[in-house]
Structure 1
Amino acid sequence: MKDPGLVMLRKSPYPYWFLIPGGLVFTVFFLVPSVMAFWFSLTRWTLFDQEFIGLDNYVQFFREPALASGLWHTLVYAVVTSGLKVILGMALAVLLTAPILGRGFMRSVAFFPVLVSTIGVGLTFQVLMHPTEGVINQILGWAGITGPAWLVDPDWALLSVAFVDVWQGVGLATVIYMAGILSIPGEYFEAAKVDGASAWHRFRRITLPLAKPATVSVILLSLIGGLRKFDLIWAMTKGGPGFTSDVMASVIYKQYQAGFYGLSTAGNVVLFLLVILIALPLFWFFNRKDDNQ
């Protein structure tokens, strides 16, 4: 016979009360603005009035000449930045979890760019990447290398911003990987050493597979951040030269600047759906692979 006290405890709504504050915050700051954004994307609106026009904003948005290139640039930017953050973050984490001299100081240095203002980083690298007077090309010149016109060359502008994004964000990826590596029991590495496994085999057979949750986190966070990136691109190139570094977020902002508020709202909804359509399948894919294991 079940204890009536245990049955009443299980049916008590008391634990769910703790969900109310989080639910209110989620509703006020995410759910309500999201619903309003969907509504305003169906209207032609200003600060003082609105007119319902159905899907006209979406039709016009997808007819924008800059949209196709902006979408392609967004995908390239997200893939390049997330890929480099995974590779460099893992490499730095392996180095900074090893018994090396000055490890604590190097960890601080690796994470410091994450704390710096993105606009400040963009303006600083705008000066450093000047094609003739920038420090980066001057250093390359001393080594006998002719540096590219980073931010004014159409072939380099988007990649230049992506490299700066990686420099600023790789510290966070490193911290996530460090947490994953340090959570691996040390006995695994000791046993591998006893069996004569080299450093490469220990990394490949132990570190890499057991740090997979960290890899999934870095991929998803970096990819979502890359798809939504705006502030660094705007600070460094404003989408130029021409439209060669325009991404979806900058295209949307330019429409807003031109006074097409409904059109820009529709663009934000499209960007939101794009992020969801890319991030959710990846999340399910990684979880499915874990479940099968």
Structure 2
Amino acid sequence: MTERRARRSPYPTWFFLPAAVVYGALFIVPTLASFWFSLTRWNLFEAEFIGLGNFRQFFREPFLVQGVVNTLIYGTLTSGLKTVLGLALAVLLTGRIWFRGTLRTLVFFPVLVSTIGVGFAFEAMMHPTRGVINVALEGIGIDGPHWLTNPSLALVSVALVDVWKGVGLATVIFMAGLVSIPQDYYEAARIDGATRWQQFRRVTVPLVRPATITVVTLSLISGLRYFELIWAMTGGGPGFSSDVIASVIYKQYQAGFYGLATAGNVILFGLIACIVLPLTWWFNRREVEL
């Protein structure tokens, strides 16, 4: 009885009621409504129940399935690169280097810039003939590729721009994790004769694990639901080669296929849940074991 009282929150339960109402109104109710409307053919005035027809049509169209595949590729690629580069930059920027403050500002600055502005800027920079990138490559004798007009490069090109823009946030999270590691561990490792690589592998990587979990989870969710940069740079093209689920949904809404677009929203919700929830459970389980 005493332990139960000790664990009880000092705040009355009804203190949480305003937050619960807002959460329910802005998340739970729209989510349940989306599930219902995904089973209908609807417009602003009426809805006709058609069961799983929208989902069958979604997976019957090749370009819609391509959007699902591209979403998985995009989310995995951007999340992986942000995690690796963010950790590398964090290690660099927490070390004793010149202009450390300036470099930290430069790394984080792209996070603050408008996504649409970045998209338009890199669309111009990646122009196959007049873009700054290909002009610079031509100056050193390299024939630059068609970054955004080649179907096999468009999605990867946008992903690299996304990594450039978002790696600053991952770096800050990793830096917070690194500075919280007691220096005693590194001193003990140096006394035992560990090299810098061994210190990084045996001390830094395990102790920065909570930051790694945060970066992977946030980057993966962001990558799976990304839209703005892709739409600004390629509009899902050329053809459907860089379409992701979010851009497919937008196109279906534009075309007036509201039920099909809502089904796409449900598929995206389910995709994120099926990937992120098991991954989070696995991360937490491994952290407890360690």
TM > 0.5 fold call: yes
3-state DSSP of counterpart to 1:239 = coil
Given the alignment, which residue of 97, 101, 104 partners 2:101? Answer: 104
Q: In 1, are the aligned partners of 2:58 and 2:65 still within 8 Å (CA)?
A: no
Q: Which runs of 5+ in 1 are unaligned?
A: none
> CA 1:12–1:201 in structure 2 vs 1: closer, same or farther (change >3 Å)?
closer
Given the alignment, which residue of 85, 88, 93 partners 2:82? Answer: 85
Does 1:22 find its partner at 2:19?
yes
Single out whichever of 51-60 and 80-89 deviates more from structure 2: 51-60
Given the alignment, which residue of 56, 63, 73 partners 1:59? Answer: 56
Q: How many residues matched?
A: 290
3-state DSSP of counterpart to 1:244 = coil
> Which residue of 2 is the match for residue 45 of structure 1?
42
> Which residue of 2 is the match for residue 289 of structure 1?
286
Amino acid corresponding to residue 174 of structure 1 in structure 2: T
> CA 1:177–1:14 in structure 2 vs 1: closer, same or farther (change >3 Å)?
closer
Given the alignment, which residue of 213, 219, 228 partners 1:231? Answer: 228
Partner Cα separation in structure 2 for residue 66 and residue 182 of structure 1? 46
Given the alignment, which residue of 91, 94, 99 partners 2:91? Answer: 94
Single out whichever of 49-58 and 254-263 deviates more from structure 2: 49-58
> CA 1:7–1:133 in structure 2 vs 1: closer, same or farther (change >3 Å)?
closer
Partner Cα separation in structure 2 for residue 70 and residue 128 of structure 1? 25
Partner Cα separation in structure 2 for residue 8 and residue 69 of structure 1? 55
Q: Which runs of 5+ in 2 are unaligned?
A: none
Amino acid corresponding to residue 154 of structure 1 in structure 2: P
3-state DSSP of counterpart to 2:269 = helix
- Scaled by the length of structure 1, the TM-score of the pair is 0.94
Partner Cα separation in structure 2 for residue 222 and residue 13 of structure 1? 35
> CA 1:84–1:11 in structure 2 vs 1: closer, same or farther (change >3 Å)?
closer
- Scaled by the length of structure 2, the TM-score of the pair is 0.95
Given the alignment, which residue of 248, 273, 276 partners 1:276? Answer: 273
> Which residue of 1 is the match for residue 161 of structure 2?
164
Amino acid corresponding to residue 44 of structure 1 in structure 2: R
Query: After superposition, what is the alpha-carbon deviation per residue over 1:45-100, rounded to whole angstroms, capped at 9, x for unaligned?
Result: 11122222222211212212212211111111111111111110011000000011
> CA 1:235–1:287 in structure 2 vs 1: closer, same or farther (change >3 Å)?
same
User: How far off is 1:10 after superposition?
Assistant: 7.1
User: How far off is 1:11 after superposition?
Assistant: 6.8
User: How far off is 1:133 after superposition?
Assistant: 0.6
Given the alignment, which residue of 189, 195, 206 partners 1:192? Answer: 189
Partner Cα separation in structure 2 for residue 217 and residue 134 of structure 1? 36
Partner Cα separation in structure 1 for residue 217 and residue 96 of structure 2? 30
Sequence identity, in percent?
62
> CA 1:124–1:11 in structure 2 vs 1: closer, same or farther (change >3 Å)?
closer
User: How far off is 1:22 after superposition?
Assistant: 2.0
Partner Cα separation in structure 1 for residue 195 and residue 10 of structure 2? 55
> CA 1:86–1:12 in structure 2 vs 1: closer, same or farther (change >3 Å)?
closer
Partner Cα separation in structure 1 for residue 8 and residue 277 of structure 2? 33
User: How far off is 1:191 after superposition?
Assistant: 2.1
Partner Cα separation in structure 2 for residue 89 and residue 11 of structure 1? 39
User: How far off is 1:9 after superposition?
Assistant: 8.3
Single out whichever of 220-229 and 60-69 deviates more from structure 2: 60-69
> Which residue of 2 is the match for residue 33 of structure 1?
30
RMSD: 1.9
Partner Cα separation in structure 2 for residue 120 and residue 87 of structure 1? 26
Query: After superposition, what is the alpha-carbon deviation per residue over 1:138-179, rounded to whole angstroms, capped at 9, x for unaligned?
Result: 111222222111000111101000000000000011011101
Query: After superposition, what is the alpha-carbon deviation per residue over 1:192-243, rounded to whole angstroms, capped at 9, x for unaligned?
Result: 2233322111111111111111111111111111111111101100111111
> Which residue of 2 is the match for residue 205 of structure 1?
202
3-state DSSP of counterpart to 2:41 = strand
Partner Cα separation in structure 2 for residue 89 and residue 211 of structure 1? 12
Partner Cα separation in structure 2 for residue 85 and residue 62 of structure 1? 31
Single out whichever of 261-270 and 15-24 deviates more from structure 2: 15-24
3-state DSSP of counterpart to 1:138 = helix
